[in-house]
Every structure is written in C-alpha cells, then in structure tokens.
Amino acid sequence: MSIRAMPFAVLLPIAASLAACDAGKVEQPPLQKVTYVDDVAPILQKHCAECHVAGKQGTEATGFQVDSYESIMHDSRFGPVIEPGSARTSSLYILISGKDNLTVSMPHGKAPLSDADIETIRAWIDNGAVKN
C-alpha cells in the first residue's frame, strides 16, 4: 500500500509518534568553525596570560599556562584542563562559563569573558580542540 493510499487516521498517529521522539532531544548549539591560532589563542592571551604564564601567580598555583597550544593541552596540577570533544567536562570551559556556580571563576578578580568568547572556546573544544 502506498502512502497516498493510507488513510489519514493511520498516518496521523505515526506522525505524532515521530514528533514525540524529537521532543525529548536536547537542542545543542551548532558547532561553529573556530581555530586555535585565529580565535582561541587571542582570547586566552587577552584574558588569561596576565596570570597563566611562567612565573606568574596562576601558573604557580595551578600549573596551567596559556603561552602555547602545547601548554594549554598539558594537564594542570589538578588534572586535564581541556577534554577534546567535550566542553562540558573541560575545566577551562567550566571555569570561564560559570556553568557550575563555582566559588572560583576565571578570569579571577576580573570581568568575565563575553558570551561570544565563551562560545568560541566551547565550539573549539567540542570540535576536538585541535591545533589549527
């Protein structure tokens, strides 16, 4: 039997059940194309380098540095900072986004990053945090 020959009463429940399947899905923001060199490094240099380079307080306290791709991908004293492919489990994203209402947020003692900068870092991490 073709779809055209099916009575409306049969097609309606099928369409409703398919719509219900989609209703339970959580919408994820679309992944944008970002690069470490052009998009992420400038944000880290602007907001994080004052404290998170060799010899500075942030690096001394945590072991996290932002002076190169290799340094940000290196574990801090507290473990991995970036989990490629998962911003929601990456310490960097958690600390800059304030998603977990932590007592510490970054940048420490300064205005938070803009929503656009936070989204750029989220997209880069979710896209695999590649060196590009």
Domain boundaries, the chain: 36-126
pTM: 0.74
Mean pLDDT over the full length of the chain = 83
Taking phi first (over 0 means left), then psi (-120 to 50 degrees means alpha), and beta for anything else, what does residue 8 get? alpha
The answer to whether 63 and 96 are in contact (CB under 8 A) is no
pLDDT at 25: 47
H/E stretch holding 125: helix 115-126
Long-range CB contacts (within 8 A, 24+) of 110-117:
110/47, 113/43, 113/47, 117/43, 117/47
Query: Does the pLDDT value for residue 18 go beyond 50?
Result: no
Phi, psi of 103 (to 5 degrees): -75, -20
The answer to whether 125 and 87 are in contact (CB under 8 A) is yes
Query: Does the pLDDT value for residue 8 go beyond 70?
Result: no
